[in-house]
A and B are shown apart, each in its own frame.
Chain A
Amino acid sequence: MNENVLQMKNITKKFGTFTANDNISISLRKGEVLTLLGENGAGKSTLMNVLCGLYKATGGSIFIKGEKVKISSPKDSTGYGIGMVHQHFMLVEALTVLENIILGKTEDRALFIDRKGTKEKIEELSAKYGLGIDPDRKINQLSVGEQQRVEILKALWRNAEILILDEPTAVLTDEEATGLFEIIEKLTGDGKSVIFISHKMKEVLNISDRIAVLRAGKLVSEFKRGEADGSTLADLMVGRHMVESEYSKMDIDDGVVFSARNISYNKESKHSGLNNVSIDVRKGEILGIAGVDGNGQSELAQLATGLLDPDEGEIFLKGEKVTTFSAKRFIDSGVSHVPEYRNKMGLIGDMSVTSNLILKSEEDPKFAKYGGWMTDAKSARGYAEEQKERFDIRCSSVDQDTGELSGGNQQKVILARELSLTPDLLVAAHPIRGLDVGAAQFIHDQMISARERGCAILLISTDLSEVLLMADRIAVMYEGSIMGIYDGQKPPTSEISQAMAGKVQEPSA
Chain B
Amino acid sequence: MDMFLNAHFIGSLLQSTLRVTTPLLLVALGELYGERAGMINIGLDGIMTLGATVGFIVGYITVNPLLGLVIGAVAGSLINLIYAYSTITLRSGQIINGMALNILAPALSIFMFRQYFGVTTKLIQGTVIKPICVPVLSDIPIAGPVLFNQNPITYLAFVLAILTAIFFNKTKPGLDYRAVGEFPRAAETLGINVIRKKYIACMICGALAGLGGAYLNTCYIGTYAEGVVAGRGFIALSAVIFGGWRVRGLILATLLFGFTDAVQLRFQTILPVIPYQILAMLPYLSTIAALFIMRNSGLAPKANGVPYSREGH
Interface bin, chain A:
20 to 34
Residues of B within 8 A of A54 (CB): 188-189, 310-311
Q: Does B173 make an interface contact (CB < 8 A)?
A: yes
**Is B185 touching A90 in the complex (CB atoms < 8 A)?**
yes
Given contacts A92-B186, A102-B175, A113-B171, contact A55 B191 (CB under 8 A): no
**Is B173 touching A73 in the complex (CB atoms < 8 A)?**
no
Residues of A within 8 A of B189 (CB): 52, 54, 74, 84, 86, 90
Q: Does B190 make an interface contact (CB < 8 A)?
A: yes
Contacting residues of chain B (162-198) with chain A, CB-CB under 8 angstroms: 170-173, 175-176, 178-179, 182-183, 185-192
Q: Does B302 make an interface contact (CB < 8 A)?
A: yes
Contacting residues of chain A (401-460) with chain B, CB-CB under 8 angstroms: none
**Is A105 touching B192 in the complex (CB atoms < 8 A)?**
yes
Q: Complex Cα distance A93/B182, Å?
A: 8
Residues of A within 8 A of B183 (CB): 90-93
**Is B188 touching A74 in the complex (CB atoms < 8 A)?**
yes
Give, as a whole number of angstroms, the nearest-CB distance from A163 to chain B.
14
Selected from B172, B192, B311, the residue in CB contact (under 8 A) with A55 is B311
Q: Complex Cα distance A94/B182, Å?
A: 8
Selected from A73, A99, A111, A113, the residue in CB contact (under 8 A) with B191 is A73
User: Which of A55, A74, A103 has the most CB atoms of chain B within a 10 A radius of its CB?
Assistant: A103
Give, as a whole number of angstroms, the nearest-CB distance from B58 to chain A.
35
Q: Complex Cα distance A75/B188, Å?
A: 8
Q: Complex Cα distance A113/B176, Å?
A: 11
Selected from B171, B182, B191, B311, the residue in CB contact (under 8 A) with A112 is B171
**Is A104 touching B191 in the complex (CB atoms < 8 A)?**
yes
Q: Does A175 make an interface contact (CB < 8 A)?
A: no
User: Which of B172, B182, B310 has the most CB atoms of chain A within a 10 A radius of its CB?
Assistant: B172
User: Which of B178, B188, B190 has the most CB atoms of chain A within a 10 A radius of its CB?
Assistant: B190
Selected from A75, A91, A103, A105, the residue in CB contact (under 8 A) with B175 is A103
Residues of B within 8 A of A90 (CB): 183, 185-186, 189-190
Q: Does A345 make an interface contact (CB < 8 A)?
A: no
Interface residues of chain A: helix, strand, loop or mixed (majority):
loop
**Is A95 touching B182 in the complex (CB atoms < 8 A)?**
yes
List the B residue with the shortest CB-CB distance to A78.
B191
Given contacts A94-B182, A104-B190, contact A111 B173 (CB under 8 A): yes
Selected from B170, B185, B192, B310, the residue in CB contact (under 8 A) with A104 is B192
Q: Complex Cα distance A172/B189, Å?
A: 23
Given contacts A92-B182, A105-B192, contact A113 B175 (CB under 8 A): yes
Q: Complex Cα distance A53/B142, Å?
A: 61
Residues of B within 8 A of A103 (CB): 175-176, 179, 186-187, 190, 192
Give, as a whole number of angstroms, the nearest-CB distance from A78 to chain B.
6
Give, as a whole number of angstroms, the nearest-CB distance from A82 to chain B.
11
Residues of B within 8 A of A154 (CB): 190
Give, as a whole number of angstroms, the nearest-CB distance from B47 to chain A.
28
Q: Does A246 make an interface contact (CB < 8 A)?
A: no
List the A residue with the shortest CB-CB distance to B188.
A74
Q: Does A108 make an interface contact (CB < 8 A)?
A: yes
Contacting residues of chain A (19-59) with chain B, CB-CB under 8 angstroms: 52, 54-55
Give, as a whole number of angstroms, the nearest-CB distance from A266 to chain B.
16
Residues of B within 8 A of A95 (CB): 175, 178-179, 182
Contacting residues of chain B (192-220) with chain A, CB-CB under 8 angstroms: 192
Residues of B within 8 A of A105 (CB): 190-192
Residues of B within 8 A of A102 (CB): 172, 175
Residues of A within 8 A of B173 (CB): 111
* Interface size of B in residues (CB-CB distance below 8 Å): 22
Q: Does A110 make an interface contact (CB < 8 A)?
A: yes
Give, as a whole number of angstroms, the nearest-CB distance from B191 to chain A.
3
Residues of A within 8 A of B191 (CB): 73-75, 78, 104-105
Give, as a whole number of angstroms, the nearest-CB distance from B35 to chain A.
13
Give, as a whole number of angstroms, the nearest-CB distance from A43 to chain B.
15
Residues of B within 8 A of A104 (CB): 176, 179, 187, 190-192
Selected from B171, B186, B187, B188, the residue in CB contact (under 8 A) with A111 is B171
List the B residue with the shortest CB-CB distance to A111.
B171
List the B residue with the shortest CB-CB distance to A55.
B311
Selected from A55, A75, A91, A112, the residue in CB contact (under 8 A) with B186 is A91
Residues of A within 8 A of B179 (CB): 92, 95, 103-104
Q: Complex Cα distance A154/B179, Å?
A: 15
Given contacts A92-B182, A104-B179, contact A74 B172 (CB under 8 A): no
Give, as a whole number of angstroms, the nearest-CB distance from A166 to chain B.
12
Q: Complex Cα distance A111/B192, Å?
A: 15
List the B residue with the shortest CB-CB distance to A83.
B189
**Is A94 touching B302 in the complex (CB atoms < 8 A)?**
yes
Q: Complex Cα distance A483/B60, Å?
A: 77
Give, as a whole number of angstroms, the nearest-CB distance from B224 to chain A.
42
Residues of B within 8 A of A52 (CB): 189
Contacting residues of chain A (97-126) with chain B, CB-CB under 8 angstroms: 99, 102-105, 108, 110-113
Give, as a whole number of angstroms, the nearest-CB distance from A87 to chain B.
12
Give, as a whole number of angstroms, the nearest-CB distance from B178 to chain A.
7
Selected from A73, A75, A93, A112, the residue in CB contact (under 8 A) with B302 is A93
Give, as a whole number of angstroms, the nearest-CB distance from B280 to chain A.
38
Give, as a whole number of angstroms, the nearest-CB distance from A13 to chain B.
10
List the A residue with the shortest CB-CB distance to B174.
A113
Q: Complex Cα distance A92/B188, Å?
A: 12
Q: Complex Cα distance A78/B190, Å?
A: 8
Residues of B within 8 A of A112 (CB): 170-172
Residues of A within 8 A of B301 (CB): 94
Residues of A within 8 A of B182 (CB): 92-95
Contacting residues of chain B (290-306) with chain A, CB-CB under 8 angstroms: 301-302
Q: Complex Cα distance A154/B175, Å?
A: 15
**Is A108 touching B172 in the complex (CB atoms < 8 A)?**
yes
Q: Complex Cα distance A482/B202, Å?
A: 50
User: Which of A73, A104, A110 has the most CB atoms of chain B within a 10 A radius of its CB?
Assistant: A104
List the A residue with the shortest CB-CB distance to B299.
A94
Q: Complex Cα distance A113/B190, Å?
A: 17
Give, as a whole number of angstroms, the nearest-CB distance from A91 to chain B.
6
Residue pairs across A and B with Cβ atoms less than 8 A apart, 19 shown, are: A54-B189, A54-B311, A74-B190, A78-B191, A90-B185, A90-B189, A91-B186, A92-B178, A92-B179, A92-B186, A92-B187, A102-B175, A103-B175, A103-B176, A104-B191, A104-B192, A108-B172, A111-B172, A111-B173
Known A103-B179, A112-B172, A113-B171; further 4 A-B contacts with Cβ < 8 A: A78-B191, A92-B179, A95-B179, A110-B172
Q: Which 8 A-B pairs have the closest CB atoms?
A: A104-B190, A75-B191, A90-B186, A105-B191, A92-B182, A104-B191, A74-B189, A92-B183
State the A residues within 8 Å of B (CB). Answer: 52, 54-55, 73-75, 78, 84, 86, 90-95, 99, 102-105, 108, 110-113, 154
State the B residues within 8 Å of A (CB). Answer: 170-173, 175-176, 178-179, 182-183, 185-192, 301-302, 310-311
